[in-house]
Amino acid sequence: MNETSLKVSLLEHTPMPEDLVALSARLCYSPIGIDKLKEKLSKNEKKKLINLLRESGHLSPFEHVSFTFSVEGISRACSHQLVRHRLASYSQQSQRYVSEEKGFDFIVPPSIKENKETELIFLEAMGKAHEYYCRLLQKLEEKGYKGELARQDARFVLPNAAETKIIITMNARELLHFFRVRCCNRAQWEIRKLAIEMLKIVKKIAPSLFIDAGPACVSGKCSEGNFSCGEAQKIRKKFKSL
C-alpha cells in the first residue's frame, strides 16, 4: 500500500481537430461539396471561423472532435465527481474483478498531508480498511463466496481515498464545459488538478479550440456569484499562460 499521484496522458484524438471543426462549420453555409471546401479553407480562415464559433456560442461543430485520456492516481472520490459529466465515455478499473488483497494505493489530501498528526490518523485508517477488507474476503470465501462474489461485497469497506484508473473520452464541446466547471477555484482540489492537466494537453494539440478554455472568468464574468473567490484577474492570467 502506497500513496500515489496523478498521471494523465493522451491516448488518442481526432486527427487535425481544428481543420475538422472549421470544415464542419463552413459546410452549414456553403453550397459546394466537402472536397472543394477543403481546398478553399486557408489556415487563417480556419482560425477566424473557429474564433467566431467560440465567441458566438455556436459549438455544435466542436462535437466532431474527441480526445481520449488515460488517468491514473485519482481517488474514488474524484472519479465519482468525474462520471457526473454524462456526455463522455468512461472505462474504469473494477474493484469487483481486481482484488485489493495485496494492498491498494491511495491519495492523501494536501490538508491532511501537511500535518503529521492528521497524516498518521489517515494512514492508520488506510491500514485498517485493508485489514478489514482482507478479513471479510477470507470469511466470505469460507462461506462459499468465491472470486468476484466475495470481492464485490468485501469492497464495501474500501475508502474513497483508494486509487483508481480510468480511460475518458470527451468531445471538444464537453471538454470546454468540463474545464469551465472543474478548473474553477470553487471545484474540489483533486478534480481541479485533473482538469488543468487535461487542459494543458489539449491546448497543445488544438490551441484555437481551447484558447479561452478554463473557468468562466477566463473569457467573461465569474459564474459563482456571491461564492466567487474574487481572484478573476489572477486566474485569467494563469490560464492564458498555460
How many residues does this entry show for the chain?
242
State the cell numbers at 87.
456526455
How many other C-beta atoms lie within 10 A of the C-beta of residue 221? 10
State the cell numbers at 114.
501537511
**The one catalytic residue among 86, 182, 186, 236:** 182
* CA nearest neighbour of 164 among 110, 108, 105, 113: 105
For the chain, the 3-state helix, strand and coil shares in percent, each to the nearest 5, are 55, 15, 35
Question: 14: buried, middle or exposed (CB in 10 Å: 19+, 13-18, 0-12)?
Answer: middle
For the question of residue 173 being annotated catalytic, the response is: no
CA–CA gap between residue 48 and residue 203 (Å, rounded): 17
Catalytic residue numbers read 182
